[in-house]
A and B are shown apart, each in its own frame.
Chain A
Amino acid sequence: MSDQNPVQEAVSVEREPVAGACSDCGKEELMRYPVLSEGGWYQAVKCQSCLHSESREPDPVGPVEIASVVLV
């Protein structure tokens, strides 16, 4: 039958710390990471305390590259 404890691997999204204070709550906990929301993908810089977005750059291609679209 089966093994009771399957191997757990995990994949996570890296968040890059960004210097500066949040313009909404003042805390210095800004991070940059990709998010998916209304309008598609963005590279966002968000305050980890209050979730306010300091900046959001649209990223139309997104993190998954389609080889044929790159090549042709």
Chain B
Amino acid sequence: MTDTAVTEPGLRDLSEEEFVARYGAGRFTCGVLANRGRYVAEHICTDLLHRAFSPIITFSQDFVGAIVGPPEQDYPLAAVNKGNVIFLGSLSTGVRNTVWEYGIDRLEPGDLLICNDPFRVGNHVNDMCFIRPVFHAGEIVSFVVIRAHQLDIGGIVPGGFSLMKKNVYENGLVLGPQLIFHRDEPVKELMRTILDNTRFGETLLPDFHTIRSCCALGERLVQDSIERYGIEAYKGAIRYNTDASAASMRAAIASLPDGVYEGSDAVDSDGVDTEVEYRVQVKLSKRGERLEVDLSGSSPQSRTSLNATALDAQTAVALAVKLVLDPFSPFTSGIYRDIDVVVPTGSVIGAGPPAAVMFYFEIQSVLINAILRALEAPLGERAVAGAYGSTNLHTGEGLNPDGTPWFSAAELEAQYGAWGATDAGDGNNHSGLATLNMIMPSVEEIEPRVPAMILHREYLPDTAGPGTHRGGSALMKQSLFLSDGDHYLVPLHFRTPSGSGVHDGGDGRAGGSWFFEDESSDASTPVSEFRVPEPDDFDGAAVVSGVVDPESGRLDPGGEFAFFGRKPIWSERRGSVLRWITNGGGGWGDPLERDPEAVRRDVRDEYVSIAGARADYGVVVSGDPENDPEGLELDLEATERLRREMTAERG
């Protein structure tokens, strides 16, 4: 936070002379260079997105491209591509830490510096940071940075997405600051070390080369800008970029009423047992243009790989505040200027060695929920309802009947889902978490490669948080396995709903996960004879996770929580079916004020049942939605009466 006793004049109010004095160039040049920086960050990612070998890079777009400013400006994050926001908070400090530890004087043109240690650069070990210095007249004036998820980085589980990793040594290979390319030539020893200690080397290696090319392109584009506009203007524009986004965030913070706001959310478990809670507690203190976010009261770091570091906390705090107050301005490190994050060391949101840090994004997700909840009251109508909560990751592996191995990660899970409603309208049904933005692989791409059939991927009625604006609906996803396999499942938010309603809206229904285990089939049973349960059939299923009626296995908010970690590995036979039901998104506004015609359409589209229309919305609809959807009748009088009764009953 800049320590100024007097509020500075807004950038808008500076005269052109004052502007030039401050930034070394006029508004035009700074504007052009600021835009250029963002374009450069996009251009360096274009190639990576279309040419990467890692499906996590391509589909999950699990990478970021950025320009970080010079050491003399303290490594500001000046520009970043509009892609995956989950890396953003760690880039400035992460690059600073990496370069400082390696030794800035040792860097040469054509070097590519890497680091993947969460305790130095945030995120997790798969997220390798690649840093290329840009020189001008012998000094480093910027860094071109790509941070990208590597498909595997060693550790005890392929791909790494397992809670069973209990410490740094089981988690994956940690690489402190070191060069992977020196003067544009591969540093073979490091590349061999990486390939000797990781899986899927044939995917990792070409991506290292592609990333180097992308960074080299970025360097050329930056040097172009410097040649065209001069080094002073270039450096001034970086400061301008961060000042502009600081100003935008300052105004956003100022728009909140002064006060202290608290909220919290918890993940279901760290995978060991359900005895210990893992909760993120948030206290936002806002005075004038200053915001302090204290995470004290959060749970200690977990016994497994469900941990995040303080840099991830910083990312999530900024994202949550941006989401509700300032969604569109460019992201630079300037947005932290007026935000102080207070993170308890040794907590699940500020873990320290030798904790395994892998599922940091799940902790970030509950932190964001906590902030959305804390800010519900002061935001009033601008409040944002909660989303689906967890990426529910699945990793599976095994042997096909013909003896060949199979492997699947992040495709047969329920990684995406509903968002909450807002003042703008109903919640979107299906997207990634706020921190993530992924392209979903298609069924037809998965099935030729993996011994599974995705038999169901459809929304369920009566799962969206009711409201004047309804939340997005829950998704049921069901996959049939055609080979035996071992499955690692990480569903982390079925114990309580994540889709909190706001502004008198209702919560989205919490979901769950089940395995229909097949005992009777063998390698010769034809697929057509496997049991494929209907959406309404839970008979005999093993409940992986969820709050269910212990007899029937169906979801029941008053039931008992089935704990997924009671079986660290779910070993299932050919013919088994993995079912997911995601959490519904939260509603916005009183459901008794939802336009009855909208409710009739919901019933027509089977997003709400006739019974649900009555119980949740006080709307009386009759007819046969399945067979005569256009013939549904809305009884407005009966609706009015029912709504009056329901209002009275609330008391």
Residues of A that sit less than 8 Å from B by CB = 1-4, 6-13, 23-24, 33-40, 44, 46, 49-53, 55-56, 60, 62-69
Contacts and interface: CB of A to CB of B under 8 A. Distances in A.
B561 A4 contact: yes
Given A1-B550, A9-B277, A60-B100, 4 more contacts: A6-B277, A7-B275, A11-B296, A35-B341
Interface of B: 1, 3, 5, 74, 76, 92-93, 96, 100-101, 117, 119-120, 176, 242, 246, 274-277, 279, 281, 285, 287-288, 290-292, 294, 296-300, 309-311, 313-314, 333-337, 339-347, 350, 352-353, 550, 560-563
Contacts of A12: 296-297, 344
Given A37-B1, A64-B119, A51 B287 contact: yes
Contacts of B296: 10-13
A63 B295 CA distance: 15
A64 B1 contact: no
A37 B337 contact: yes
A66 B310 contact: no
Contacts of A33: 342
A4 B299 CA distance: 17
B299 A8 contact: yes
A62 B5 CA distance: 27
Nearest to B309: A64
Contact of A13 (B5, B275, B294, B335): B294
A11 B300 contact: yes
A49 to B, nearest CB: 8
B168 to A, nearest CB: 10
A36 B563 CA distance: 35
A9 B119 CA distance: 23
B275 A6 contact: yes
Residue with the highest number of chain B CB atoms closer than 10 Å, among A6, A56, A63: A6
Nearest to B281: A10
Nearest to A1: B560
A35 B310 CA distance: 10
12 contacts: A7-B275, A7-B276, A33-B342, A36-B311, A36-B313, A37-B339, A38-B76, A38-B246, A38-B335, A64-B309, A64-B350, A64-B353
B29 to A, nearest CB: 24
A51 B290 contact: yes
B3 A56 contact: yes
A56 B560 contact: no
Contacts of A56: 1, 3
B306 to A, nearest CB: 14
Given A36-B340, A38-B336, A69-B101, A1 B562 contact: yes
Contacts of A6: 274-277
B563 A2 contact: yes
A25 B319 CA distance: 30
B288 A50 contact: yes
Contact of A2 (B119, B352, B560): B560
Contact of A1 (B246, B275, B311, B563): B563
Contacts of A36: 310-311, 313-314, 340-343
A63 B343 CA distance: 10
A39 to B, nearest CB: 5
Nearest 3 pairs of A and B residues by beta carbon:
A12-B296, A38-B336, A1-B560
A34 B299 CA distance: 19
Given A2-B274, A7-B277, A36-B341, A53 B310 contact: no
Given A13-B296, A36-B343, A37-B341, A66 B336 contact: no
- Count chain A CB atoms within 10 A of each CB in B93, B246, B294, B353 and give the residue with the most: B93
Nearest to B351: A64
Given A1-B563, A64-B345, A38 B119 contact: no
A38 B336 CA distance: 5
Contacts of B344: 11-13
Contacts of B353: 64-67
